[in-house]
């Protein structure tokens, strides 16, 4: 299974730099100079290898220069590219309270009394922290955003296939 570690948000400047949204806890390792990144367009399954020539932080994003991406046009063509790693290549986490996104996606979301709220559709990473995007039970569409913090998500049982939430008043109310 592929795990996304970064996404090209846009080009930066005229020399081919890419502004990348980081989606990994190890950006220093994943995006180190000389590292080979596997990238693909969002709707494309074909992976292409890119070698990191330079990396620096700028305004909360990572700026990358990749071998062969030498000007703004080439950088613009990379917009939306997802950098991925194979989950089989990842070591197991030593922290019992740390999870890879793919471990949470698909888990049932329930209240302490067992009431099923829905299913984790995706883990969203924002500047304010992580959010669980939950597809409501029995719904074809819709989304409930649950802050992924211990006060609201006190129990995560990957082995048993569920996440227990203790939502504050109004979180589950339809808008």
Q: Domains of the chain by range and CATH? A: 2-88 (2.40.30.60), 101-165 (2.30.30.240)
Nearest to 21 by CA among 91, 80, 86: 80
Mean pLDDT of the chain: 87
What pLDDT was estimated at residue 54?
A: 95
CA pair distance 99, 95, nearest whole angstrom: 8
What pLDDT was estimated at residue 100?
A: 75
Q: Does 92 have pLDDT greater than 70? A: no
Q: Where does the chain show beta strands of DSSP type E?
A: 2-12, 17-22, 36-40, 48-58, 61-66, 82-86, 108-111, 116-126, 129-136, 144-147, 155-157, 162-165
Supply the pTM of this predicted model.
0.60
Q: Does 43 have pLDDT greater than 80? A: no
Q: Looking at 43-47, 117-121, 123-127, which range is the least confident one?
A: 123-127
What pLDDT was estimated at residue 94?
A: 65
What pLDDT was estimated at residue 19?
A: 94
Distances (CA, A) of 144 to 13, 18, 75, 119, 152: 37, 32, 34, 10, 13
Q: How confident is the model at residue 175 (pLDDT cuts 50, 70, 90)?
A: low
Higher pLDDT, 138 or 42: 138
């Amino acid at each position: 299974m592929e795990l996304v570690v970064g996404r090209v948000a846009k080009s930066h400047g005229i020399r081919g730099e890419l502004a990348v949204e980081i989606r990994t806890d190890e950006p220093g390792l994943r995006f180190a100079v000389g590292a080979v990144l596997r990238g693909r367009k969002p709707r494309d399954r074909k992976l292409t290898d890119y070698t990191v020539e330079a990396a620096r932080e700028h305004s909360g994003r990572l700026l990358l220069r990749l071998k062969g991406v030498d000007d703004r046009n080439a950088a613009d063509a990379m917009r939306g590219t997802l950098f991925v790693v194979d989950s089989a290549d990842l070591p197991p986490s030593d922290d019992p309270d740390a999870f890879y996104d793919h471990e949470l996606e698909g888990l049932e979301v329930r209240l302490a009394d067992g009431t099923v709220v829905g299913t984790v559709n995706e883990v969203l990473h924002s500047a304010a922290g992580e959010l669980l995007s939950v597809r409501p039970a029995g719904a074809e569409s819709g989304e409930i955003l649950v802050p992924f913090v211990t006060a609201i998500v006190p129990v995560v049982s990957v082995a048993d296939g569920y996440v227990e939430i203790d939502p504050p008043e109004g979180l589950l109310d339809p808008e």
